[in-house]
Chains A and B, each alone.
Chain A
Amino acid sequence: MLEQAVKTEELLKVENLKKYYPIRGGVFGGITGSVKAVDDVSFTVRKGETFSLVGESGCGKSTTGMCLARLVDPSSGKIYLNNANIHEANKSALKQYRRNIQIIFQDPYSSLNPKLTIRKILSEPLLINGYGSKLEIENRVLSLLEMVGLGSQHMDRYPHEFSGGQRQRIGIARAISLNPDIIICDEPVSALDVSIQSQLLNLLKDLQEEFGLTYIFISHDLSVVEHISDRVAVMYLGKIVEMGTTKEIFESPKHPYTRALLSSVPIANPKTKLMRKRIILEGDVPSPKNPPPGCSFHTRCPFKTEICEKSIPSEFQINKEHSVSCHLVENGAIF
């Protein structure tokens, strides 16, 4: 708790980020509509914290991550890292930026080049960014491997010789190699077994403590998110519906979607089964091609009223840390 109070320095600032993908169709293949993958998302990430984006598939959490790393170009919106403008950065500025913002991908099987040895994979970013002499690079690679719990005997092996968990460790080593400011972790443990998942989560936490790393953690797994994050943003259909400290979000969720999401998580304790009341949502997430008017959650919301169908709710501050986009919470209709 003390730790949380210290983290106030803003590192990354995102304002009104949008990513629309055009839909082509018709006789001449013109643009007939757009998929609003990320629709007006704003948040800030503080130095040294873990900020999580949670949501179901298709909610835009990964696209947000890709926009931040500039792996896809946002349609509009502003991104600042240490007050430097990223959304308009040119090629050379981007190179510098990418050094400071690294990404760990979900699938450890396809994110490592199968034709390169681990030595090559890990020294490439160092070479490109002019880390130093051959010997310095070699030493750095070795110390990176040790940091993630591997050793020199692994240097000259190829990715296929490693298990999923080990590959993900290599992915982590690659991400931390240039001492970045921020690491985007896009579902880093989703493809792994429970016992391996816990090893990696502990590793991520250890590295954060040791090097003061800042994580943007993208996941659909709420128990993992609760475990690792300081602050959480819940996304639904391209929008952030609720944002706050982990404690607030998990102990007193306000948005009906957050509540439903939390109550859907199966808990590995047969005793709680009878005690808790589940909110089971009806239907599926609507298509982002054609999102419902008004509040995008109203089609599945158990509490919806007339106003929800008509106007888009704006962000409502419950307190300094906790904001929610819901008419009903704003009106005081639900608590």
Chain B
Amino acid sequence: MLLIHTLSGSESEGVMLSPVLNINNLNVETTGRDAYSILDNIHFQVQAGETLAIVGESGSGKSMTALSILGLLPESGLRISSGEVLLEETNLTNLSDKNMNQIRGKEIGMIFQEPMTSLNPSFTIGNQLAETFKYHTNFFRKEIREQSIELLRRVKIPDPEEKLKAYPHELSGGMRQRVMIAMALACNPKVLIADEPTTALDVTIQAQILDILSDLQKSYGMTVILITHDLGVVAETCSRVIVMYAGQIVEEGSVDEIFESPKHPYTKALLLSMPMLGTSKKKLHTIKGVVPDIKKMPTGCRFHPRCEMATDMCRQQAPKLEQTEDGRRVRCWNKL
């Protein structure tokens, strides 16, 4: 097992940790006559207690990675063709539905983007929180109620006793997302996967939610995988970053490294094309073209049609995700 020290928070600094989650050469493709690759050889580890960001534009495969970890890929249309997802020692890819249900919600918690649609509108908050406990624990009614109130308090929902009786439509978007976080935390999961948890929210509410997430991460040493397209959110909350493009990991490194000295041209271009507060009003850098269609992946490096530094080598041969001397990983022939 690899022993790497993570950079997350002061507590874990310098402590040798083992990975909680190992994603080994995961490939996902479409089913049907022509199998198109959706995820190409995704390989990474998540260390206990760290906050890992997976960043990319739409269509980069970041959400698909999360869904494959959770075994939630849509049954018709997509399948894992090879590779494994190891939660500590267990391989999740060949678990039965029944066993997987024991993992989801208990070992791995999840939060989705849409707080409006991820709660059931016809049950109260209390009811929906209790469901998690009923499924995974053998608590009595009173214990469930106490635990639920405690959870709502943890995510800083004002007067939790009253809120247990509320229906989702009575809560604002920010409050609903807090309820989602509370539900995800119910069984103290080893890993929390948050898929664009703040994208649908306003900035002031986003700040509240990110604050809660990082508080929880600090005080309970939770492991978080944060999936987002917002590099600002990444810089503020995460310790390590994986950048994805067109179904592949193109770069991996610590937050400081990625933001200060990106080695992949895509990462660099992405950082430059964002308007940032307090910077000059010069023209923005642009990445020409669009993300390629999965049915028409370019030959060689998948980024080459949009890359300013592309050479003949890039057009012909696909680069491998290589480890650099300082422990980062980059998929590029002409590393910056």
Which A residues have a C-beta under 8 Å from some C-beta of B?
56-57, 163, 165, 193-199, 201-202, 205, 220, 222-224, 226-228, 250, 260-271, 273, 278, 280-285
Asked if B276 contacts A268 (CB within 8 A), the reply is: yes
How far apart are B309's CB and chain A's nearest CB, in angstroms?
16
A284 to B203, CA, bound (A): 11
Query: Which of B58, B259, B275, B281 is close to A270, meaning CB atoms less than 8 Å apart?
Result: B259
| B261-290 interface with A by 8 A CB criterion | 269-271, 273-278, 281, 283-288, 290
| B198-221 interface with A by 8 A CB criterion | 202-208, 210-211
Asked if A193 contacts B291 (CB within 8 A), the reply is: yes
By beta carbon, the residue of chain A nearest B237 is A266
For B288, the chain A residues whose CB sits under 8 A away are 199
Asked if A268 contacts B271 (CB within 8 A), the reply is: yes
Asked if B286 contacts A267 (CB within 8 A), the reply is: no
User: B174 at interface (Cβ–Cβ under 8 A)?
Assistant: yes
Asked if A222 contacts B276 (CB within 8 A), the reply is: no
Asked if B233 contacts A266 (CB within 8 A), the reply is: yes
Count chain A CB atoms within 10 A of each CB in B204, B256, B259 and give the residue with the most. B204
Asked if B58 contacts A193 (CB within 8 A), the reply is: yes
* Chain A proximity mask over B81-94: 1 for CB below 8 Å, otherwise 0: 00000000000000
For B235, the chain A residues whose CB sits under 8 A away are 266-270, 273
A284 to B206, CA, bound (A): 11
For B203, the chain A residues whose CB sits under 8 A away are 56, 220, 222, 261, 264-265
* Chain A proximity mask over B155-194: 1 for CB below 8 Å, otherwise 0: 0001000000000000010110000000000000000000
Query: Which of B230, B275, B286 is close to A266, meaning CB atoms less than 8 Å apart?
Result: B230
* Chain A proximity mask over B229-240: 1 for CB below 8 Å, otherwise 0: 111111111000
User: B57 at interface (Cβ–Cβ under 8 A)?
Assistant: yes
User: B255 at interface (Cβ–Cβ under 8 A)?
Assistant: yes
Query: Which of A195, A205, A266, A280 is close to B283, meaning CB atoms less than 8 Å apart?
Result: A205
What are 20 residue pairs bridging A and B, where the CB atoms are less than 8 Å apart in the complex? Answer: A193-B229, A193-B291, A196-B290, A198-B285, A202-B284, A220-B203, A222-B203, A222-B277, A223-B275, A224-B275, A250-B277, A250-B278, A260-B204, A264-B204, A266-B236, A268-B274, A270-B256, A273-B235, A281-B208, A284-B205
By beta carbon, the residue of chain B nearest A165 is B290
By beta carbon, the residue of chain A nearest B285 is A198
Count chain B CB atoms within 10 A of each CB in A201, A205, A267, A270 and give the residue with the most. A270
How far apart are A34's CB and chain B's nearest CB, in angstroms?
21
For B205, the chain A residues whose CB sits under 8 A away are 56, 284
A76 to B231, CA, bound (A): 42
Asked if A284 contacts B281 (CB within 8 A), the reply is: no
How far apart are A111's CB and chain B's nearest CB, in angstroms?
19
Count chain A CB atoms within 10 A of each CB in B57, B203, B233, B269 and give the residue with the most. B203
Known: A265-B203, A269-B235, A284-B205. A202 touches B283 (CB 8 A): yes
Asked if B269 contacts A223 (CB within 8 A), the reply is: no
Asked if A261 contacts B204 (CB within 8 A), the reply is: yes
For A228, the chain B residues whose CB sits under 8 A away are 275
For A270, the chain B residues whose CB sits under 8 A away are 235-236, 255-256, 259
Tally of chain B residues near chain A (CB < 8 A): 45
* Known contacts A198-B275, A268-B235, A285-B202, then 7 further A-B pairs from the complex at CB < 8 Å, ordered by chain A residue: A195-B270, A198-B287, A224-B275, A226-B281, A227-B281, A268-B271, A284-B174
A242 to B196, CA, bound (A): 31
How far apart are A91's CB and chain B's nearest CB, in angstroms?
38
For A223, the chain B residues whose CB sits under 8 A away are 232, 274-277
| B241-260 interface with A by 8 A CB criterion | 255-256, 259
A268 to B233, CA, bound (A): 7
Asked if B232 contacts A267 (CB within 8 A), the reply is: yes
* Chain A proximity mask over B57-72: 1 for CB below 8 Å, otherwise 0: 1100000000000000
Asked if B202 contacts A194 (CB within 8 A), the reply is: no
How far apart are B276's CB and chain A's nearest CB, in angstroms?
6
By beta carbon, the residue of chain A nearest B57 is A193
For B57, the chain A residues whose CB sits under 8 A away are 193-195
For B281, the chain A residues whose CB sits under 8 A away are 226-227
A197 to B231, CA, bound (A): 14
Asked if B276 contacts A195 (CB within 8 A), the reply is: no
For B291, the chain A residues whose CB sits under 8 A away are 193
For B236, the chain A residues whose CB sits under 8 A away are 266-267, 270, 273
Asked if B204 contacts A202 (CB within 8 A), the reply is: no
For A57, the chain B residues whose CB sits under 8 A away are 202
How far apart are B238's CB and chain A's nearest CB, in angstroms?
9
For B204, the chain A residues whose CB sits under 8 A away are 56, 260-261, 264, 280-281
Count chain A CB atoms within 10 A of each CB in B58, B275, B278, B281 and give the residue with the most. B275
How far apart are A50's CB and chain B's nearest CB, in angstroms?
11
A56 to B205, CA, bound (A): 9
Known: A201-B275, A261-B203, A270-B235. A194 touches B286 (CB 8 A): no
Count chain B CB atoms within 10 A of each CB in A194, A196, A197, A222 and give the residue with the most. A194
Asked if A264 contacts B256 (CB within 8 A), the reply is: no
